């Protein structure tokens, strides 16, 4: 409700994408021979997450009849005239997992009493994010949203098999007494996106307005319908009208008054197709 805070609660929750459990097994072997210290090792990691990206089922917003005036906000609330109304559909509860493996070899060579050279190589393989029940989809050009498990899409995205990471470093004892050491190095490393990046990214602040991800697309039964008034008149104006979502007639406000049905659930099917097209275009994983 405008500047008065979230009366009735915040409309964007419950939202949670925190690690449920992560298993990590790693090991290494080290051998020293002459001036060389050779180290070989690797690790296996399995991350699991129970994620919920539900937006509140029904949200009414009062922002002062488009004027952002505090008095208009109170008037609009008392009259049951809201600037916008939103309702979300579908469950976004997902059980996600992803495994990664990596291996490396590194040689640290004591070239002299004052210089140490290090050379190494690491290789990583990161699987696509998966959902235990296969509730995921991707946008494929020419086909639209395609659910994982359908012909031609056995996983959410391709696995990169070229994650080689070379690394090199030099340490030089400038004075020979260990008090001043010059170090330089290079390493190519790889990182993984958060689960939420693919689950239900919210790009509202970027101007795209998308809030649908690979696990919360409309074809999975997840959608949201929003009704917005024109706000041409102040909420207490005798000229103010209520929009009718059932007939498509426009109005100044989404009205919640005796005898005036909001009927936001009735426009779901009518608007779902439009929402589907917009969210497809804003999909974070557009296929090649």
Distance CA 18, CA 233 (A): 44
Express each pLDDT in 8-45 by its tens digit. Answer: 777 776 777 778 899 999 999 999 999 999 999 999 99
pLDDT recorded at residue 130: 93
Q: Is residue 263 part of a domain?
A: yes
Q: Per the structure, how many domains does the chain have? A: 1
pLDDT recorded at residue 287: 34
Express each pLDDT in 122-178 by its tens digit. Answer: 999 999 999 999 999 998 888 889 999 998 899 999 999 999 999 999 999 998 888
Place 272 in a pLDDT band, splitting at 50, 70 and 90.
Answer: very low
Q: Is residue 105 part of a domain?
A: no
Give the domain extent around 270: 2-32+49-96+131-157+193-281
Place 54 in a pLDDT band, splitting at 50, 70 and 90.
Answer: confident
- How would you classify the pairing of strands 254-255 and 94-110? unpaired
Q: Is residue 119 part of a domain?
A: no
pLDDT recorded at residue 205: 62
pLDDT recorded at residue 210: 63
Distances in Å between the Cα of 217 and the Cα atoms of 139, 152, 242 are 10, 19, 31
Mean pLDDT for the stretch of residues 268-276: 45
Express each pLDDT in 205-219 by its tens digit. Answer: 666 666 678 998 888
pLDDT recorded at residue 258: 62
For the chain, what is the HEC assignment? Answer: CHHHCCCCCCCCCCEECCCCEEEEEEEEEEEEECCEEEEEEEEEEEEEEEEEECCCCEEEECCHHHHHCHHHHHHHHHHCEECEEEEEECCCCEEEEEEEEEEEEEEEEECCCCEEEEEEEEEEEECCCEECCCCCEEEECCCEEEECCCCCCCCCCCCCCCEEEEEEEEEEECCCCCCCEEEEEEECCCCCCCHHHHHCCCCHHHCCCCCCCCCCCHHHCCEEEEEECCCCCCCCCCCCCECECCCCECCCEEECECCECCCHHHHHHHHHHHHHHHHHHCCCCCCC
Cβ atoms of residues 285 and 210 within 8 Å: no
Q: Is residue 169 part of a domain?
A: no
Mean pLDDT for the stretch of residues 243-255: 82
Q: Is residue 153 part of a domain?
A: yes
Entry pTM: 0.72
Q: Is residue 179 part of a domain?
A: no
Q: Considering only CA atoms, which of 172, 169, 168 is closest in space to residue 115? A: 172
Q: 133: which residues sit within 8 A by CB, 6+ positions away?
A: 95
Share of the chain above pLDDT 90, in %: 38
pLDDT recorded at residue 270: 44
Q: Is residue 113 part of a domain?
A: no
């Amino acid at each position: 409700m405008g500047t008065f805070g979230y009366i009735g609660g915040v409309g964007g929750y419950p939202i949670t994408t925190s690690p449920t459990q992560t298993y990590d097994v790693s090991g290494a072997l080290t051998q020293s021979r002459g001036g060389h210290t050779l180290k070989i090792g690797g690790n296996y990691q399995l991350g699991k997450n129970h994620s919920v990206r539900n937006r509140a089922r029904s949200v009414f917003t009062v922002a002062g009849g488009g004027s952002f005036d505090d008095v208009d906000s109170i008037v609009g609330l008392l009259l049951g005239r809201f600037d916008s109304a939103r309702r979300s559909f579908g469950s976004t509860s997902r059980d996600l997992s992803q495994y990664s493996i990596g291996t490396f070899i590194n040689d640290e060579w004591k070239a002299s009493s004052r210089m140490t050279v290090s050379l190494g190589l690491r290789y990583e393989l990161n699987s696509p994010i998966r959902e235990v029940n296969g509730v995921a989809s991707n946008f494929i050009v020419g086909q639209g949203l395609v659910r994982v498990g359908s012909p031609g899409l056995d996983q959410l995205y391709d696995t990169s098999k070229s994650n080689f990471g070379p690394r090199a470093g030099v340490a030089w004892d400038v004075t020979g007494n260990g008090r001043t050491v010059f170090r330089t190095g290079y390493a190519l490393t790889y990182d993984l996106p958060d689960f939420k990046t693919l689950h239900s990214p919210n790009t509202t602040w970027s101007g795209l307005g998308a809030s649908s991800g690979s696990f919360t697309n409309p074809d999975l039964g997840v959608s949201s319908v929003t009704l917005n008034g024109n706000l041409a008149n102040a909420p207490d104006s005798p000229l103010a009208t209520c929009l009718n979502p059932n007939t498509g007639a426009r109005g100044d406000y989404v009205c919640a008054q005796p005898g005036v049905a909001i009927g936001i659930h009735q426009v779901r099917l009518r608007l779902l197709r439009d929402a589907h097209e917009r969210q497809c275009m804003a999909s974070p994983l557009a296929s090649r």
